[in-house]
Chains A and B, each alone.
Chain A
Amino acid sequence: MSGKNMEEKVEQATDRKNISLPMSRVRLIMKSSPDVSCINQDALFLTTKATELFVQHLALSSYKNGSGKETNTLSYSDLANAAEESETFQFLTDILPKKILAREYLKSLEEMEKVDDNL
């Protein structure tokens, strides 16, 4: 049983040797990390492929958890929600903050000040 599953996975893997992302650009981004000198070609390919899978995973999870049923559109807030709720995407919380309208923020600020005044 697990053998057949493995076969399917291997088939899928070999069928998808093609990658859609430019490896040169991935390499550039990798090099922006400190202490990186040279990058093994296999590691580069793996990283590129993993990035591709990451995009798919992120898009699909966000879409499913978000407003997919109603609006049929993947929006920024879907992504922000995914970052906050899923443990896998925790590392994205800094760059995916939830957006808030300025007036709502100012309102909540005022309320906080009122509470401080009352104390």
Chain B
Amino acid sequence: MDGDSSTTDASQLGITGEYMAGSHFVLAQAQDGDEGLNDHEDGDGSKDNLREQDIYLPIANVARIMKNAIPQTGKIAKDAKECVQECVSEFISFITSEPLKLYLQKFREAMKGEKGISTVTVTEGMGEELTDETFTNPLPAGIITADGQQQNVMVYTTSYQQIPGVQQLQFS
């Protein structure tokens, strides 16, 4: 298996086992019985090895952004560019997993409710100063109304709320 290479990469990224569960992809084949609403991955069944270029963003782009950020005359060491590349991947994983935890928590609470008359909001975990403590407006995905029609409605709410008459919940 390529578990070894991915583990090595994971340790380079400083991502603990919590983030990367020892496998390349987490296929949405309902390995967790709880989330019955996982859609199938859209053609991402590729079990190819994750090459180094797959887990990092291209260094040229990263270097360009860095160059534009610092004063004109500045230079950037090569190992600095490489390590920012790794930091970036770490950052993405970090902000993906944090709001996800909140969402799953709310989702589970919602599913405990009766007859599914609840909406679950997907929050964007974007804080101002790169902390994950503040959140912007949460957005529910799609809702199915009482007459069975699905409407992909983006409703901006400020808190988790229950909407009567909504029977089921789907995600676009």
Contacts and interface: CB of A to CB of B under 8 A. Distances in A.
A26 B104 CA distance: 21
Contacts of B139: 40, 42
Given A31-B25, A56-B65, A79 B35 contact: no
A73 to B, nearest CB: 4
Instruction: Determine the interface band of chain B, counting residues with CB < 8 A from chain A.
Output: 35 or more
A29 B130 contact: no
Contact of A35 (B71, B92, B104): B104
B62 A33 contact: no
A67 to B, nearest CB: 10
Main secondary structure of the interface of A (DSSP, over half): helix
Given A40-B122, A46-B124, A76-B80, A29 B93 contact: yes
B141 A40 contact: yes
Interface of B: 12-14, 18-21, 24-26, 28, 32, 35, 38-39, 41-42, 44, 50, 54-55, 57-58, 61-62, 64-66, 68-71, 73-77, 79-80, 83-84, 86-97, 100, 104, 122, 124, 126, 129-131, 139, 141, 171-172
Interface of A: 20-22, 25-26, 28-38, 40, 42-43, 46-47, 50-52, 54-60, 63, 68, 72-76, 78-79, 88-89, 91-92, 94-96
